[in-house]
A and B are shown apart, each in its own frame.
Chain A
């Protein structure tokens, strides 16, 4: 049973480009959560999705950020027109009910 899979592990983008981060939840898990972590800080909730539905996006910036979890395929966190301040580690977690399991994260660097 593979864990939560995130790719790419490292992503470098120039300012103004788009970043796409992918997350495949654990088998049997229908809940997906995205978190953002700045260096030396805790994880900040961004968005909670179930298949084809956004349940809570209260932690998402209002502009440039979007997330989806289609019926088939991984969940995607999309950041348009990236800026240097978007540089961070982005973690995805999945759960069936209570216990959430995290992926290894995608480290986004905007240059």
Chain B
């Protein structure tokens, strides 16, 4: 189930189940979005990205869905494994940014129970 911890919301799932992590972004004009995975003590690791002219993009075991109408992004992880346990951040790149200055969401902690 989903619960709110002291700071980061936490999603607990059983190994083998599918996980869905949600993110609300702030700028309706943002044209590029990325999901990052951050394990304890490490830097953010790129998972998958999507441009605003797409609604869905699939990778290996992961799918990102973009709903521009409600400014919502989701990350679906199929057959979740213990190694997927981490904090997941969505990031957006508003079009008026010079370069690639990303604005990060607050993050969701995914805990996979064996």
Contacts and interface: CB of A to CB of B under 8 A. Distances in A.
Contacts of A48: 98-99, 101
Interface residues of A, number: 28
Interface of A: 4, 6, 31, 33, 35, 39-45, 48, 50, 55-56, 91, 93, 95, 97-105
B104 A44 contact: yes
A38 to B, nearest CB: 9
B49 A99 contact: yes
Contacts of B36: 102
Interface string B80-114: 00000000010001000111111111110000000
A43 B100 contact: no
Nearest to A96: B100
B78 interface: no
A53 to B, nearest CB: 11
A97 B45 CA distance: 17
